[in-house]
Structure 1
Amino acid sequence: MERNWLDVVSLILIIIGAVNWGLIGFFNLDVISAIFGNMSMITRIIFAVVGIAGIYSLVLFWKLKTEE
């Protein structure tokens, strides 16, 4: 399967989200909230976009699984 730009952007966003959750779990440090404010509009948008990237990755994973 050929990858497009949306696959790459989705993967980058998922990595950012995973690193942020790891920092929350290990050090109680939410980098996104620290940079953009605690539950400010931009923080909520970033969290929503990362969530959408996660849903997109489920679809991508299903596509890859069915191609085998």
Structure 2
Amino acid sequence: MKIINIVTLTLLVVGGVNWGLVGLFGFDLVAAIFGAGWALARIVYILVGLSAAWQVIPLSSAMGSGEFAARQNR
């Protein structure tokens, strides 16, 4: 389970950086690397989306267990 969390978090960082570049400069890094409209870029976008969906599980678990509130009070 730890490996999948590391992979999904890494993909979310890549997606976040990509969206930051799109928002700031209109530059799509994923499309630049893999080719705009090409299947590989689309696969990366899908994997980032699935990673976000996967990370909802640990987020909701942390919020439900009180871990999130405990860390905020430190």
Q: TM-score w.r.t. structure 2 length?
A: 0.83
Aligned to 1:29: 27
Please list every run of 5 or more consecutive structure 1 residues that lacks an aligned counterpart in the other structure.
none
Q: Percent identity?
A: 30
For normalisation by structure 1, the TM-score amounts to: 0.90
Q: Of the two, which has the highest radius of gyration?
A: 2
Structure 1 segment 26-65 matched on structure 2, within 5 A: 26-65=24-63
Select the structure with the greater relative contact order (CA < 8 A; seq sep ≥ 6): 1
Q: Which residue of 2 aligns with 1:9?
A: 7
Unaligned regions of 5+ residues in structure 2, if any? 67-74
CA RMSD across the alignment: 1.1
Matched letter for residue 26 of structure 1: L
Amino acid in the other structure paired with 2:58: L
